[in-house]
């Protein structure tokens, strides 16, 4: 399987705005994943309003405690006048946010953001760095681009060098109760393919799609990856049916790591996700990258891109999906 093609594949994404000359020092961030981008680019202390909550994203607030001083706002139902009172000089909002028009009518500088693959994520990070207009933001954006591209290239080469054409069919479960999985057209599908596998959710497109356990049994995945907060198969009311899958009986069920943002979703840790997934699914292709190596790489990543000295115990908790 030649995965190198994946590294250079172009895909559609949304994150476009005109960068202004003046740096943004009072930021409102209304898209959960983009808070991780702003944090990586070194501007968490400039966030005055955020949809992020420490209860939902504890690692984010641990790595960037300054976020705790921002006003908590309610996403798609945010009151634009509240953002005016906070003197927000830029508002990052999900491209599909229905309040964008109202915010712009009040004179707020709204930047629609979003991405669904690596190329559009890199464009979003670059454009955000231009808007923030700080030396750290520009340096981190450039460094991250190089890191992600090298990660994809090195992973593809390692898999190709093994000459293995086996691509396990992976089902990514976002939630067990209710049962929701991720299909194609998502960043989940991209890292599954980058890690030398196929998405088992045949015919399904999009994130967080409700499915029946009968459909899962029909797909019969080789591997099941559970999101960090997906719940437990052992506690699922459908446990007996899950146990009929070879993937479950053979122990091919894995808990996804989490961090500043869940590694499997829409944050910069998508680069770590590729490393973790490829080594989990194809350990034979990475004979020198055991658990200790993944811990070290995780620590290096957070020091390099978040300026955070992650302890060994913290890295191990992240890798096990814990908080």
pLDDT, one tens digit per residue, over 212-255 is 999 999 999 999 999 999 999 999 999 999 999 999 999 999 99
Q: What is the pLDDT of residues 95-123, one digit of tens each?
A: 889 889 999 999 999 999 999 899 999 99
Which residue in this structure is represented by tokens 């894995």? Answer: 254
Cis status of the peptide bond prior to 51, with omega within 30 of 0? no
DSSP state of 269: T
**CA-to-CA separations, 134 to 25, 68, 304, in angstroms, rounded:** 10, 22, 17
pLDDT, position 162: 80
Residues forming CATH 3.40.50.1980 domain(s) in the chain: 4-142, 169-319
- DSSP structure string for 59-90: HHHHH-GGGGGSEE--GGG--HHHHHHTT-SE
For 289-304, what is the mean pLDDT? 94
pLDDT, position 96: 86
Predicted confidence band at 18 (pLDDT cuts at 50, 70, 90)? very low
Which residue did the predictor score with more confidence, 163 or 157? 157
Q: What is the pLDDT of residues 120-147, one digit of tens each?
A: 999 999 989 998 999 999 999 999 999 9
pLDDT, position 251: 97
Least confident of 5-14, 26-35, 65-74, 220-229: 5-14
pLDDT, position 120: 94
Q: What is the mean pLDDT of the chain?
A: 91
Residue 274 has pLDDT above 50, yes or no: yes
Q: Is the whole model's pTM more than 0.75, yes or no? A: yes
Q: What percent of the chain has pLDDT over 70?
A: 92
The first and second tokens of residue 35, run together, are: 């808070």
pLDDT, position 212: 97
For 43-54, what is the mean pLDDT? 97
The span from the first CA to the last CA of the chain, in angstroms, equals: 36
**CA-to-CA separations, 219 to 94, 154, 199, 215, in angstroms, rounded:** 32, 30, 10, 6
Residue 4 has pLDDT above 70, yes or no: no
The first and second tokens of residue 148, run together, are: 């992600």
pLDDT, position 263: 98
For 13-18, what is the mean pLDDT? 45
For 149-160, what is the mean pLDDT? 96
Tally the C-alpha atoms within 13 A of residue 79's C-alpha that lie toward its C-beta: 6
pLDDT, position 89: 92
Q: What is the pLDDT of residues 180-204, one digit of tens each?
A: 999 999 999 999 999 999 999 999 9
Predicted confidence band at 74 (pLDDT cuts at 50, 70, 90)? confident
DSSP state of 207: S
Q: The CATH number of 169-319 is which of 2.40.100.10, 3.50.50.60, 3.40.50.1980, 3.10.20.520? A: 3.40.50.1980
Between 312-319 and 291-306, two packed helices, what is the crossing angle to 10 degrees? 110
- Residue 125 to residue 198: CA distance in whole angstroms: 27
Predicted confidence band at 289 (pLDDT cuts at 50, 70, 90)? confident
- Residue 133 to residue 148: CA distance in whole angstroms: 22
Q: Rounded to 10 degrees, what is the CA torsion of 296, 298, 300, 304?
A: 180
Residue 17 has pLDDT above 60, yes or no: no
Q: What percent of the chain has pLDDT over 90?
A: 84
Residue 168 has pLDDT above 80, yes or no: yes
Beta strands (DSSP E) in 194-281 are 198-199, 209-210, 223-226, 253-255
Residue 68 has pLDDT above 90, yes or no: yes
Yes or no: say if 252 and 314 are a contact pair by the CB < 8 Å rule: no
Yes or no: say if 131 and 90 are a contact pair by the CB < 8 Å rule: yes
Yes or no: say if 250 and 174 are a contact pair by the CB < 8 Å rule: no
Q: The CATH number of 4-142 is which of 3.40.50.1980, 3.40.47.10, 3.30.70.3420, 2.60.40.10? A: 3.40.50.1980
Between 187-194 and 270-281, two packed helices, what is the crossing angle to 10 degrees? 40
């Amino acid at each position: 399987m030649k995965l190198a093609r994946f590294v250079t594949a172009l895909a559609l994404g949304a994150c476009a705005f005109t960068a202004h000359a003046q740096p943004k020092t009072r930021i409102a961030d209304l898209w959960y994943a983009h808070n991780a981008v702003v944090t990586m680019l070194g501007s968490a202390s400039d966030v005055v309003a955020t949809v992020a909550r420490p209860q939902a994203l504890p690692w984010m607030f641990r790595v960037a405690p300054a976020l705790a001083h921002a006003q908590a706002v309610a996403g798609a139902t945010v009151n634009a006048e509240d953002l005016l009172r906070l003197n927000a000089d830029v508002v990052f909002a999900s491209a599909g946010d229905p309040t964008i028009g109202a915010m712009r009518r009040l004179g707020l500088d709204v930047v629609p953001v979003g991405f669904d693959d690596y190329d559009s994520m890199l464009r979003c990070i670059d454009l955000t760095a231009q808007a923030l207009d700080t030396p750290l933001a520009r340096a981190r954006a450039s460094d991250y681009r190089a890191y992600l591209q090298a990660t994809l290239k090195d992973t593809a080469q390692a898999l190709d060098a093994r000459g293995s054409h086996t691509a396990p069919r992976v089902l990514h479960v976002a939630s067990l109760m209710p049962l929701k999985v991720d299909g194609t057209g998502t960043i989940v599908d991209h890292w599954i393919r980058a890690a030398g596998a196929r998405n088992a959710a045949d015919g399904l497109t999009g994130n967080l799609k409700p499915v029946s356990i009968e459909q899962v049994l029909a797909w019969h995945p080789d591997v099941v990856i559970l999101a960090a907060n997906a719940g437990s198969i052992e506690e699922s009311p459908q446990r007996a049916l899950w146990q009929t899958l070879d993937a479950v009986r053979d122990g091919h069920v894995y808990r996804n790591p989490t961090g500043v943002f869940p590694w499997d979703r829409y944050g910069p840790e998508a680069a770590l996700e590729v490393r973790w997934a490829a080594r989990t699914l194809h350990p034979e292709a990475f004979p020198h990258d055991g658990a200790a190596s993944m811990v070290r790489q995780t620590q290096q990543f957070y020091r390099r891109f978040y300026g955070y000295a992650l302890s060994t115990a913290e890295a191990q908790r992240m890798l096990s999906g814990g908080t």
